[in-house]
Amino acid sequence: MQRRDFARAAMLFPLAGSGLLRAQPGWPQRPVKFILSQPAGSGPDILARYVADRLARGWGQPIVIENRPGGQNVIGAQAAARSPADGYTFYYATTAAMVTNVYTFKALPYDPVKDFAPVRLVGRSPFVIAAAANFAVRDLKEALALAKAQPGGIAIATEGPKTFSGMLADSVAGMAGVRLNHVPYTKAPDALQDVIGGRVQLVCLPDAALTAYLKAGQVRALAVSTAKRQAGMPDVPSLSETFAGFEYTGWNGLFAPAGTPPDVVARVNHDLEAVLQQPEVVQRLQSLGSQAEPRMSVAEFEAFMRSERERWVKLVKQLDIQPE
C-alpha cells in the first residue's frame, strides 16, 4: 500500500484502535441510512443518533437518520422492509415493531421474520410508571389504591392500549385489580406535557423518554419495569417488588432488509459491538435510559428474537389481546 493510501485509511478510521474493523473492499463508499419508526426527539431517536455518530466516526461515512413515525411503527417498518438490500439501509427497531405488532394487528404490510435480517441488539430499555410531580401519591401502591377507589377515574398516558407501554399499563392494572383510563399519544413529549399540566395523572413510557423530565423534577418515578432496581434509579422500586417475579423490558436493535450481504451484516455487528463496549458509551446509554448489550453475535441475536416471540405469545394470551 502506498503512503497516500495509509494516510487516507488513517483519516477514515480514527477508531480502528478501539476494535472497529477496517472497511471491507467497497463498503461503505457512501452515507448509510438508519430508518426509525419514531419521531425526532423520542427516546429511540436519541439513542439511535448517539450510536450512529460513534459508528460513523469509524466508517468515515455519515449515517443519516430517517424518521418515519406513525401507524404504531408500521410506516417505518414497511419503508425499511422495502428498502434495497445493498448494505446501506438499516432499521433501528424496537420490540413493538419486530415482535408485538404481530399479535396486535390482524395483518401487517411487512413480516418481521421474513423481511429482515437481525444485525445486533443495542440495548434493553426499561419502562417507567411515573406521576405528575403534584399528584398526591407517594408510591405505586397509593396510586393503585386510588385507582381502585375511583374506577376509571385515574388516567394514564401511554403510546396506545396495544403498544408496549399500553400493554404494560394493562398488565399492572390487571394484576392490581383496577381499571385505568388509557389516554393514547403518538409523541412522548405531548404526553408528558399533559402529565405535567395535571390533565393526566400517570404516565407509562420508556425510561429514555422520561429521563430529562425525571431529572428536572417535572414528573416522579413510581416504578421501573425491570426485575431489579436500576443503577441509574436506585431509589425507584422495581415492579417485581409489588408483583413478585414480574419483569417487562423493551429493547432496541438494528436490522437489515432481508438479502443484505452477510459480510456487511457481520461487519456492522462487529463494529457495533466494539462501540457498545466503550465505557463512555455504556455510561451515556445508561444516562439515556438504556442498558447497553456488551456482547451478542448475529447468531445470538437471531436466537434472542426467537425467544422474544415465544415469550410474547404467552403474554398476549395472559392479557387476552385480540388483534385488530
**pLDDT value of residue 9:** 39
Hey, is 29 helix, strand or coil? Answer: coil
Count CB neighbours of 44 within 10 A: 25
With beta carbons less than 8 A apart as the criterion, state whether 99 and 308 touch. Answer: yes
Task: Look up cell 434509579; give the residue.
Answer: 233
Q: Model's pTM, two decimal places?
A: 0.77
Q: What is the pLDDT, as a whole number, of residue 25?
A: 65
Residue 19 has what pLDDT?
A: 52
Select from 3.40.190.10, 2.30.42.10, 2.60.40.10, 3.40.50.720 the CATH code of 126-241.
Answer: 3.40.190.10
Q: How far apart are the first and last CA of the chain?
A: 60
Dihedral sign for Cα atoms in the order 198, 202, 207, 209: negative
Secondary structure of 96-142 as H, E, C letters:
HHHHHHHHHCCCCCCCCCCCEEEEEEEEEEEEEEEEECCCCCCCHHH
Helices (H), the chain: 3-12, 43-59, 74-81, 95, 101-104, 140-149, 164-176, 188-196, 207-215, 262-276, 279-287, 298-319
Task: Confirm whether 3-125+249-319 and 126-241 share one CATH topology.
Answer: yes
Grid cell digits, residue 153: 377515574
Element (H, E) at 157: strand 155-158
The rounded distance, in Å, linking the Cα atoms of 132 and 113 is 39
Residues of the chain falling short of pLDDT 70: 1-25
Q: What is the spatial distance between Cα 23 and Cα 267, in angstroms, rounded to a whole number?
A: 8
Nearest to 12 by CA among 4, 317, 140, 203: 4
DSSP 8-class letter at 20: P
Task: Compute the distance between CA of residue 280 and CA of residue 302 in angstroms, rounded to an integer.
Answer: 27
Our CA dihedral for 261, 266, 269, 271, rounded to 10 degrees, sits at -110
Please give the pLDDT value at position 13.
41
CA dihedral 223, 225, 228, 231 (to 10 degrees): -70
pLDDT digit string (tens) for 168-226? 998 899 899 999 998 999 888 899 999 999 999 999 998 878 888 998 999 999 999 98
Domain formed by 3-125+249-319, architecture: 3-Layer(aba) Sandwich (3.40)
- Total number of residues shown for the chain: 324
Q: Which of 146, 152, 114, 121 is nearest to 132 (CA)?
A: 146
Q: What is the CA radius of gyration of the chain?
A: 21
Find all residues with CB under 8 Å of 246, minimum gap 6, and list them.
171, 175, 227, 239, 240
For the chain, what are the domain ranges? 3-125+249-319, 126-241
